[in-house]
A and B are shown apart, each in its own frame.
Chain A
Amino acid sequence: MPVQPSRPLEPKQRAIVVGASSGLGAALVSTLAQKGVLVAAVARRREQLEAVCTPFENARPYVHDVTNYEEVPALFQQIVSDLDGLDLIIYCAGIQPAVALDEYDFQKDRAMMETNVIGAMAWLNEAALRFHRAQRGHIVGISSIAGDRGRAAFPGYHTSKAALSTFLESLRNRLAKRGVTVTTIKPGFVDTVLLENAPKTFWVVSPDDAAQRIVAAIEKREQTVYVIGRWRWVMLIIRHVPSFIFRRTSI
């Protein structure tokens, strides 16, 4: 039995945020919950998750490690039944361990691929099947400007975000015909612990500010969104810098 039986004329928006215990994900939970959305908040750290959810009676914590792929269908089903349906899923889980410029560490790269990409596939496929059938719904992936170009600094991270962006693009091309929106969010720099490993940052926005912009973009059903917006033009240029020049720069 769902948390609250749904009433036909009083539909509630229902959302899952995966990677919700800190940073951007936590801010997204608060922003959505304040708007009255029923939110399921998913991440590994129980205490942080509970702290994020406690202020809201319409947010609920679910402890889960996205690399436990086997568990995803069961938890997805559990959440959908608790919320009595689903309108929106945001995949925000991501890791970016410190990597030195002369370090080549398979374990770190693998971990990034598992959390940033395979976990996304596990969760978003569940939602995609459901939304495909229902002919409505909204999938959002928090990718990164890092996915737009392979820089020297973080080979594994750039690859993971490029893969996520491409996966989202494919989902979009499949699901657009079915009335389902897929939004790719590409943040620049957001003031979270993740930045500790990313030197030389600028145009930094707070997680709350970023979350507000993201939710606004979701409401407008936008497709690809840079946070903040000017990154779109910067990345347009960077994407077109020829490789023989790019490899000589310190970007």
Chain B
Amino acid sequence: MQDKQYNVDELGMPQLSVALSKELKRFDGRLEDVPAWGGASSGMGWVFRPINTDQLAEVFAIAHKTDLSIGLRGGGNSYGDAAYNSNGIVLDLCRFNRVLDWNPETGVIRAEPGLTIHQLWEYTVEDGWWPPVATGTAKTTLGGCAAMNVHGKNAFKVGPIGDHILEFDLMLPSGEIITCRRNENSDIFFAAIGGFGMLGCFTSITLQMKRVYSGLLDVVALASTDLSVMFEQFRALLPTSDYLVGWVDGVASGNGLGRGQIHKANYLEKGVDPYPEQSLRVDNQNLGDTIFGIVPRSIIWQGMRLFTNNYGLRAANLGKYAVSYATSGSKIRQPHAQFHFLLDYVPNWKKSYGGGGLIQYQPFIPRDSAENAFKTILRTTQRHDLPTYLGVLKRHRPDAFLMTHGLDGFSLALDFRITQANRQRIVRMVRELDEIVLDAGGRFYPAKDSTLRPSVATAYLGADTIARFRELKQRYDPDSVLQTNLWRRVFMTP
């Protein structure tokens, strides 16, 4: 693509194709500023929203004709620049979202890539099937989830979503569609899952759902007085948990460093829920108009804004901590949707971060070095006076996907509020954090990334892995049609 786009004459001046620009003028109406989910960055591109494979193939043809690259986009829930493509085409797959086949006996579903996790569970839950892996928001699409190989709060037990994908169809930039399974086109199966949309566009995905015998989960909340305690609790609880997640207070320091709360959840066994038909009803999964009892949903984010200045943040975490300490060990029954997607029910909660948006930093660190590394990371954010509002601790397991972020260890997801004034400081701090992660043998996750540099990516993935991925890209996308800002920033130039 470099040569194609940069036709320069012998004196280094670009040679313009006026005909090409006339072609492009036809698409002026499609020019949109496409944002990162975190809102801290964006890129302008020509957005197409195809509804089927024919329209999809047309967009690939337009790209060939206009020499533009294509960035694929699902629900746009990647925090950084993984799902936009400045000065190129953005192929938004949200309307390409039908269920193609559903078998309520086996729990195998085949659907188009734009189907959201929300649409997915609403479709299957009354038959007693839940998505095997659920992200923290249900606005993600099947295609986006496969492309990032997302994980849930059960990653330690069931792995990433790729471990539950039985088969997919992939449209290559040539327009050809290939079917991939573990044992058919297997190299591309293991590279396109987790390949952040760089090898082709999923056109259908076949997923094995998880059988559930109730619409409710048993949820236990436990206080953790510091990060060591939280790790201790994780080790103790993992064998008996279906889901396990830790909420870390990023502000607490000294003896309380990394204190927080653990949520452990378990499925109800068959027969425990006397009327599963009722608890599985969509209406009983979705929340009402208020959460936390009395606060109307639409004003919650304004309250949350208070917590994002450092002072309010301290108070908020202290409050949450105190409550969990008092109720430590208390057990509640919660609908699946409520347990997984609470934030979706708080309209515009992102606004609580202010106009500059937010980024997330989520390192994955091997089991034995994780605790110390995370402590160092928390201390570093505090030393830079850039503590995180909320940290989320999860346990993972290794998987067989080429560009994987998974490993036998833990991840800690940290949200940082971005302002005009703190960008530089955040960048400097992240450089330090990157070193800590690399020293501990850690990995990073493109879905959450806004800061990765090529050298760091090479260090965690290994030059061989990246070379292998480039080789596949060269084979399936020889003209580098598929590109996103993330790809150009981190992987395109060696």
Contacts and interface: CB of A to CB of B under 8 A. Distances in A.
A5 interface: yes
Interface in A2-34: 2, 5-11
Given A5-B488, A8-B81, A10-B423, A74 B31 contact: no
Contact of A77 (B13, B21, B36, B492): B21
Interface residues of A, number: 30
B14 A5 contact: no
A44 interface: no
Interface stretch (B40-48, B141-149, B164-172, B299-307): B40-48
Contacts of A73: 18, 21-22, 24-25
Contact of A7 (B28, B33, B451): B451
B323 interface: no
B479 interface: no
Contact of A8 (B14, B20, B24, B451): B451
Nearest to B21: A74
A45 interface: no
A37 B41 CA distance: 18
Contact of A9 (B13, B22, B28, B40): B40
Report the interface size class on chain B. Answer: 35 or more
A74 B450 contact: no
A109 interface: no
B183 interface: no
7 smallest A-B Cβ distances: which pairs? Answer: A74-B21, A8-B41, A74-B16, A5-B488, A81-B87, A134-B33, A8-B450
Given A63-B13, A134-B42, 15 more contacts: A6-B43, A8-B36, A8-B40, A46-B11, A62-B14, A73-B18, A73-B22, A77-B24, A77-B87, A78-B16, A80-B87, A84-B86, A133-B31, A134-B33, A135-B33
23 contacts: A1-B1, A1-B2, A5-B489, A5-B493, A6-B485, A8-B41, A9-B41, A9-B426, A10-B423, A46-B13, A62-B14, A71-B16, A73-B18, A74-B20, A75-B16, A77-B87, A78-B16, A82-B14, A84-B87, A85-B43, A130-B44, A134-B42, A135-B33
Interface of B: 1-2, 5-6, 11, 13-14, 16-18, 20-22, 24-25, 28, 31-33, 36, 40-44, 80-81, 86-87, 359, 418, 423, 426-427, 450-451, 485, 488-489, 492-493
